[in-house]
Amino acid sequence: MEKLFDIIDSLSGEYVEFLTDICNIESKSDNKEGLDRVWEIIKSHGIQRSYDIKELILEKAGNVLSLTYNPKGEKPHVCLSAHMDTVFDKGEFGYPPVKRAGDMLYGPGVIDCKGGIAVSLLAIDALRRYGYNDRPVKFILQSDEEVESVNSEGKTIEFMINEAKGGAAFFNCEGKTKGYITTKRKGIIRLCLDIKGKAAHAGDYFEGISAIREAAYKIIDLEGKSLKGGITYNCGVIHGGTALNVVPDTCKVYIDVRINNQEEYEFAMEEVKKTAATVFVQGTSCEVLHVSHRKPMERTGANVSLFNHINKVSRKYGFGEHKECFSNGGSDAAYTTLAGIATVDDVGPIGGKYHTKEEWCYIPSIAESAKLLAASIIELD
């Protein structure tokens, strides 16, 4: 492995620059222009290295693609994956958006999840230069992960599953917490309680029916059903009322429900419907609207075996012991797990402060994560 690790060390500076460049292009999930610029850079990176390229051109979401090194490899392929969309508006980080301080890189997407793109492409480039030829090695790029793939109406997920199908392993390169690799994640259901009452002048208070008051009762009822380690119901956004002197006739409560498995999905939906159907303020009505849904990544035997494999490789080459992480956040790794592909998540570089302006990536971990992934691919049975 020494030769492979030397190759990665010699390439790592180039990939830190690459990461800086793609993070300096702002690419929120709905910024198709920015996303397509990043897509273009990654595509030409693939062309320069003669990778096989499959692309999916999309109308609203950013275009996506898969790159394959060694497409004629005899054993089943392996996949690395990451997304290029971020949660940040233009200008939030100032210009240029990316700043470097010693070994730290700060900027939109440095860890969530463009750092994962850099790690994936570095690992594949190193395998190419090393002459690895057992299996095809794919990189699958996503463009609307942060919005549960709503912008492409699920087409990016369909593309990802088709590309990953039949593969021996799927490494989702979201950012890493040192010493942990994720084998299980919660699913997310996003719903809206659309509550209706009756408007009246505040001076004629008793003639109105307050939708906001009903919402208050419903929020307390629903959030009260949350359990540590179990299903949680978070009413994160509310919109209601029109003016201070009007009894509000409408209120929308947006809910984020986190579930561990499919049984909990059915249960949680029933609980939300029960709260919706319970009338606390006489005269109000409530409808449950669907916003989006991301399935849970279940802890399958295949996921645990892949975790054990990486952990063994990690110990063998001095990258330390890892523990399994069970995450409360959702990710695209759920879909490849559901498709029956051995999947692990959060194997990108080390970083933190996701979705905040302090988002950071620890630069030396880019090479280290690429080494662990490339060695794990080589040593896969």
Q: Which two tokens stand for residue 242?
A: 């029109």
Closest separation in Å from C-beta 112 to Zn ion: 4
Q: What are phi and psi of 286, to 5 degrees?
A: -150, 135
- The site that binds Zn ion (CB under 5 A) totals a number of residues, namely 1
**By CB neighbour count within 10 A (0-12 exposed, 13-18 middle, 19+ buried), where does 100 fall?**
middle
Closest separation in Å from C-beta 346 to Zn ion: 12
Closest separation in Å from C-beta 174 to Zn ion: 8
Residue closer to Zn ion, measured from CB, 2 or 358: 358
Closest separation in Å from C-beta 62 to Zn ion: 15
Q: What are phi and psi of 109, to 5 degrees?
A: 90, 0
Closest separation in Å from C-beta 216 to Zn ion: 31
Tell me the Ramachandran region of residue 38: left when phi exceeds 0, alpha when psi lies from -120 to 50, beta otherwise: alpha
Distance CA 172, CA 303 (A): 12
Closest separation in Å from C-beta 317 to Zn ion: 29
Q: Which residue number has the CB closest to Zn ion?
A: 112
Distance CA 120, CA 26 (A): 20
Residue closer to Zn ion, measured from CB, 144 or 368: 144
Q: Name the pairing type of β-strands 137-142 and 64-69.
A: antiparallel
Q: Judge contact between 142 and 82, C-beta under 8 A.
A: yes
DSSP state of 143: S
Contact call for residue 36 and Zn ion (CB under 5 A): no
CA 253 to chain centre: 24
Closest separation in Å from C-beta 130 to Zn ion: 32
Give the range of 55-63, 107-115, 155-163, 369-377 binding Zn ion by CB under 5 A: 107-115
Binding flags for Zn ion, 202-241, as an x/- string (CB under 5 A): ----------------------------------------
Closest separation in Å from C-beta 354 to Zn ion: 5
Give the range of 41-49, 110-118, 161-169, 304-312 binding Zn ion by CB under 5 A: 110-118
Residue closer to Zn ion, measured from CB, 112 or 249: 112
Residue closer to Zn ion, measured from CB, 118 or 137: 118
Q: Judge contact between 259 and 327, C-beta under 8 A.
A: no
Give the range of 104-112, 128-136, 256-264, 316-324 binding Zn ion by CB under 5 A: 104-112
Closest separation in Å from C-beta 72 to Zn ion: 35
* CB under 8 A, 24+ apart: contacts of 49-57: 49/125, 49/128, 51/124, 54/163, 56/155, 56/156, 56/159
Give the range of 18-26, 109-117, 203-211, 241-249 binding Zn ion by CB under 5 A: 109-117
Residue closer to Zn ion, measured from CB, 141 or 375: 141
Residue given tokens 């029916």 in the structure block: 209
Q: Judge contact between 217 and 225, C-beta under 8 A.
A: no
Give the range of 11-19, 112-120, 202-210, 287-295 binding Zn ion by CB under 5 A: 112-120
**Chosen residue from 112, 264, 345, 359 binding Zn ion by CB under 5 A:** 112
Distance CA 105, CA 83 (A): 18
Distance CA 360, CA 351 (A): 5
Residue closer to Zn ion, measured from CB, 112 or 368: 112
**Residues near Zn ion, by CB under 5 A:** 112
